[in-house]
Amino acid sequence: MSGGKSKGVLLRGVKGLPIQVPGEILKCQADLGPTATLVWINLVAFSQLGRPLQINSLARQMGLPKREVSQALALLADMGWINDEGLEIRLTVQGSEEALQPAAAEQAAAAEPLADEETEAFDWLINFVSARITVPSPEEKRKLLYWMQSKGLSHEVIAVAIEEMCASAAHPSFPYLEGILRNWHGVGIRTYNDLLENPYLAKVLAPIAGGKELNPAEKRWKEVFPDEFD
The pLDDT tens digits for 39-52 are 988 888 888 777 77
Phi, psi (5° rounding) for residue 112?
Answer: -75, 130
Distance CA(200)–CA(195), nearest Å, equals: 9
Of the two residues 219 and 161, the one the predictor is more confident about is 161
Residue 67 lies in a domain: yes
* 172 and 218 in a common domain: yes
Phi, psi (5° rounding) for residue 82?
Answer: -140, 150
* 118 and 152 in a common domain: yes
Q: What is the pLDDT of residue 4?
A: 56
Q: Which residues contact 167 (CB under 8 A, 6 or more apart)?
A: 203, 204, 217
Residue ending a domain, among 72, 101, 130, is 101
Q: pLDDT (tens digit, 9 = 90+) per residue, 76-98?
A: 877 778 876 555 677 787 765 44
Cβ pair 157, 120 in contact under 8 A: no
* 63 and 95 in a common domain: yes
Number of domains in the chain: 2
Q: What is the pLDDT of residue 99?
A: 40
- Pinpoint the alpha helices (H) of the chain: 23-32, 34-49, 55-62, 66-78, 104-111, 116-132, 138-149, 155-168, 174-186, 192-196, 206-210, 216-224
* 173 and 148 in a common domain: yes
Of the two residues 126 and 201, the one the predictor is more confident about is 126
- How far are the Cα atoms of 40, 45, 81, 144 from residue 23, in angstroms, in the given order? 13, 15, 13, 32
* 219 and 192 in a common domain: yes
Among the listed residues 75, 86, 109, the one whose alpha carbon sits nearest the alpha carbon of residue 190: 86
Q: pLDDT (tens digit, 9 = 90+) per residue, 151-174?
A: 889 999 999 999 988 888 778 888
Domain hosting residue 129, numbered range: 105-229
Q: pLDDT (tens digit, 9 = 90+) per residue, 131-149?
A: 888 898 888 888 898 898 8
pLDDT at 224 over 90: no
Distance CA(145)–CA(127), nearest Å, equals: 13
Residue ending a domain, among 79, 101, 123, is 101
Cβ pair 146, 109 in contact under 8 A: yes
Residue 189 lies in a domain: yes
* 58 and 140 in a common domain: no
pLDDT at 193 over 70: yes
Of the two residues 222 and 138, the one the predictor is more confident about is 138
Q: What is the pLDDT of residue 198?
A: 85
Residue ending a domain, among 78, 101, 124, is 101
